[in-house]
Structure formats: C-alpha cells, structure tokens
Structure 1
C-alpha cells in the first residue's frame, strides 16, 4: 500500500525478430498485441500509483540511442513516458533511467565484468560518465548534443537489459538493476545469461534501503 511509483527501464515487450528463432519461444507473436497485453496488466495497477516507462532494444522504437518515448497510443492507462536514457525526479531524488544495451560491450571488453553482476558494469559506465563509451559497438543516433553523457549527478541509476537483479552503492549513488519477469530462454543460455526472474526491487525513499518482492512464490 505504500508503493507510489513504478519505473520500468525498457523492454516493455519481448518484440519480434530480435534474436534468432525468437518466434518459436513467443506466446504472443504480434508486437502490437504484446503492447495490448502489457497495457492490460498496467490497468490492473491502482491509479494512485504513478508509472514511468522507458523503451529498450526490444521495443517498437528505433534501435539507435537515445531512443524516443514509446508512442502514446500504445497505452490506455495514464503513464509517464520516458526516453532512453531519461531523467526523472521523484520525491526530490534524481533518477537516471537507462535500459542498458551498452553493457554488453562493456562485459565483452572488461575481464571483471560479467552477466552475473550487472552493478560492476554499471559502475564502469559511471566512472566514464558516459552510457555508451565504446565507439562503434552500439548504435548511436547522431545529434547536436550527446544525450548519453552523464553530465549531472544522479541519486539513483536504474538499468535493466541483463535480466539480472543487482543493487550497489558507488560514491553515494544507488545502482539498481531491476531484473526481469522472463525465465531463461535458449538464446540466453547460449549467451551465458543467468536471469533472476520475478524479483522486483522496492526502493524506500526515506531510508534509502532496497527490498525485493518475490512474485514467483
């Protein structure tokens, strides 16, 4: 009853044709029907809870970052749509929300980073003050301004993509990876992804503590 905000850091749906033979694992093979199902689930959440939603690399927007907001017509429930990356201030705390597609290139380049500990990779992005620091590895949309530069200090950095929950604090900044609701797929097994499905992190603004709600029980 105390939950007032929900932030979804991308990959609102699984998409279609994102990776080889994905269609064989999908229950809903139409991307628009996937969004309709997501919208139905969000409508079950009480209106008193504000929802913030950003896109990821599986979503129906351009793949190149920064990604635009998801189209308003995808949803019937009132939601705050964010870009990827996006900034939002909640209860006086500045949240940097980024799906985290570039973490794949960091993991491939740094020996101590892996798919088991997303927070290690998130720390490397903070150190470099850039969300996609390896040139040529990730699709970046050209523009007059680099929106992937971390030019302000966030209170909380929230990412996803790796389907693995993580929580850490780096120089006073809270790092959260919110995991997934999807069990391990055959593609993830081949890629070395070990997901932690159905664990939802709950951040308490007053105390700064994080608890996990287990939806798989």
Structure 2
C-alpha cells in the first residue's frame, strides 16, 4: 500500500517511553515507515501508520509539550487530535479496580479534567492528596467517543479486547513485552488479612 500524503494524517500519538512507543506501533494495522519530509524546525521522528481507517502519526520519548508543538508544525494542515498514550501512574482505589495491563481512558468529572499531573497536587497532613490544579479536559469529540464506549459496554461485548489480544499474540516478543502480567506477583493487590 502506498503511503498517504502527509496531509492525510489526522491523529497524533505521543509516547513518553520507548516501551509505550513500541506498543503503540504494534497496534498499527498498516505501517508506512518514517516520515521523510517535515517542517525544518521540527526535530521529531514520526512513525506513520493506520488503525482501521484512520491515519496516525506517532512519536516517542521526549517532552510531550515539545513533541506536540513540533507535531503541529509538521502536520498543521491535517492534525485534528493529539493523544498522550502510555503507562499511567495512577493509584488504584476502592472505587476503581485498576490492575497492571488494564486499558484506561481519562474522563473529567466535577473539578478534575480527567488526568492529574504529578505536579498538580500535594500530600497534606494525614496523608490526604490535595489537588492544586488540573489539566484541561479532552476535546468534546473524544468525550463523546468515550461516552459511546461506556454506553456500549453496558450492552455489548467490547470488540477492542480481541483486537488488543491479537496484537499481543503476534509473536513471542509481543507476548513477553505487552502481555498482561500474572496476578500472583501483583504487589499492589496483595490480600490484606486482618490480625
């Protein structure tokens, strides 16, 4: 398949770690290689590809702000959505049973934009976390997409689980690097047995 023009790419993924970039790259149905023409002020390297019918450009490992600004320079005619994709640093709670390997989408509620950046809060007396700011909410189009997924999850079996599983099972390396770890050594969820 011929590589589409640079102006065909509408979604950009930013990954902060090499393992995140590798996992994102594995999710591409069609891989178009590395972009060879870009804005002269843009020092990023882009891996191009497609998932389903959507063209994507992807970049890994550096400051997300710098990457996003440079990505906007190079894909200024087409980029509609930028996503930060990667390993979250969230802490599980009684309300949310989050485990290693889970796929999580942030969603705003009340006073939180959906993601709490590590420097937008502090621990106060008694070990309680107090938010000192928040990031902007995601664009309305993404919130709508998440709402559609949430509604579908109440009635339908999610199809993305099979898609993720087939990507993980692609070969021995993808199984080793991207498969869900066994629950036995999951130290976050060691059973508490009261005395």
Structure 1 and Structure 2 fold alike (TM over 0.5): no
Structure with the bigger percentage of strand = 1
**Which is greater in Rg?**
2
Q: TM-score, with normalisation over the residues of structure 2?
A: 0.37
Q: TM-score, with normalisation over the residues of structure 1?
A: 0.34
